[in-house]
Amino acid sequence: MPLASIAFANATATALLPLAVGPAMSATGREGPESGEDGLLIVRLIAEMPDWETRLSAAKDMVAGESGTTASARRLESAPDVLQWRIEGAGIATMHSVVDRCFGPVDRLLSEREIAIPQVFVSDMDSTMIGQECIDELADYAGLKDRIAAITERAMLGDLDFEAALRERVGLLSGLEESAIERCLTERIRPNPGARELVQTLKAKGTRTVLVTGGFHHFADVVGQALGFDRVVGNRLEVAGGVLTGELAGPISDASTKARVLDEEVANLGEGAISVAIGDGANDVAMIERSTFGFAYCAKPAAKKAAAGWVESGNLTCVLSLLGIDSSDFIKEHGRPQSTN
């Protein structure tokens, strides 16, 4: 295994954190988070704050003021820190607002269908599975980080055409030694808290896992292997004579690619397959909207608007809890469940 692969794999072990304490909600299916305004909603929150009952009472009053009705509210047996709330007559946008006002910026999942473990999980990489934007960190080795990071930020907000912004940033890296990629992997790239636990636990539950990125295979192949993804899709940097040419090799991996990969994976599993997708930027919106349960991770406004599930705490294991998976079943870095109970 290359040095960079070993360094990243080691980082996944040291960066894993305990279960997040923020709340979570469920997804909306393939019609997008604004559908089903008059139907049943399942709202899940990771509600560990001591005054959660008072907050829930205030939220119920607020829902009643919006002509909604609380059918039930209880702790999940499989995930006791998760509060599940069934509501009739309140829309998703309304409930996001209620949760924010009564519980604060908590992890959540809203769903118009019963929540279940997915058959396929598709994830973005940069600022989702890892805490960095790879091209920004790589640019630092060329003394161009601030310039390139500014373009990245605008692209992730949806202010720039993704392909044009990608080609511009890659062009600025022309002449950079290929060896800078391995240095960047070793020195800069680290998984977000709970990333490996999320992937490995879903795999143990029979879920197919796919990493699809607008970033580069030089990074994504290493990250995908370290975290345990079954498939990796991304862009390829062109290299000649040991240096970057400033060009891309092969087709572009962009927002449409992410949506297409999700559709392919679901189709391969057959009608009715349940999917989870997670990302942070405008490039992830189509993928998030097309999934059964779409999550936005510490996300830009466009991704949050598209998603019914919000990860606000930064710990990816909250997704497992919101899906109803017992923390004793979480796969830790040594490859076994946290507990054998």
Where on the phi/psi map is residue 19: left (φ > 0), alpha (ψ -120 to 50), or beta?
beta
pLDDT of 172 over the 90 cut: yes
Q: What is the mean pLDDT of the chain?
A: 87
Summarize pLDDT for 173-209 with one digit per residue, the tens.
999 999 999 999 999 999 999 999 999 999 999 999 9
Average pLDDT over residues 65-94: 86
Higher-confidence residue of 10 and 324: namely 324
126 is catalytic: yes
Average pLDDT over residues 65-86: 86
* For the chain, percent of residues with pLDDT exceeding 90: 75
The total number of residues written for the chain in this structure: 341
* For the chain, percent of residues with pLDDT exceeding 70: 86
**Secondary element (H or E) of residue 182:** helix 179-187
pLDDT at 245: 97
Average pLDDT over residues 317-329: 97
22 vs 41: CA distance, rounded Å = 20
Catalytic: which of 81, 107, 124, 280?
A: 124
Q: How many CB atoms lie within 10 A of CB 114?
A: 9
Can you count the helices (H) and strands (E) in the chain?
13, 12
Of the candidates 190, 188, 212, the residue with the CA atom closest to the CA atom of residue 283: 212
pLDDT at 35: 38
pLDDT at 11: 56
3-class DSSP state of 213: strand
124 is catalytic: yes
pLDDT at 94: 87
How distant, in Å, are the alpha carbons of 60, 96, 131, 265, 294 from that of 124?
35, 23, 11, 15, 12
| Displacement of CA 159 from its chain's centroid (Å) | 21
**Secondary element (H or E) of residue 293:** strand 293-297
What is the greatest pairwise CA distance in the chain? 67
Q: Which residue has the tokens 């240096």?
A: 243
Which residues are CB-neighbours of 306 under 8 A, at least 6 positions away?
32, 33, 284, 285, 288, 289, 294, 296
Catalytic: which of 38, 51, 81, 126?
A: 126
pLDDT at 212: 98
pLDDT at 271: 87
pLDDT of 20 over the 50 cut: no
pLDDT of 41 over the 70 cut: yes
pLDDT of 123 over the 70 cut: yes
Q: Give the number of C-alpha atoms closer than 13 A to the C-alpha of residue 40, restricted to the C-beta side.
A: 9
pLDDT of 113 over the 80 cut: yes
Q: Which residue has the tokens 């609380």?
A: 70
Summarize pLDDT for 217-242 with one digit per residue, the tens.
999 999 999 999 999 999 999 999 99
Average pLDDT over residues 276-302: 96
Average pLDDT over residues 300-312: 94
pLDDT of 305 over the 70 cut: yes
pLDDT band, very low/low/confident/very high, at 93 (cuts 50, 70, 90):
confident
3-class DSSP state of 292: coil
pLDDT at 72: 83
Q: How many CB atoms lie within 10 A of CB 88?
A: 14
pLDDT at 220: 98
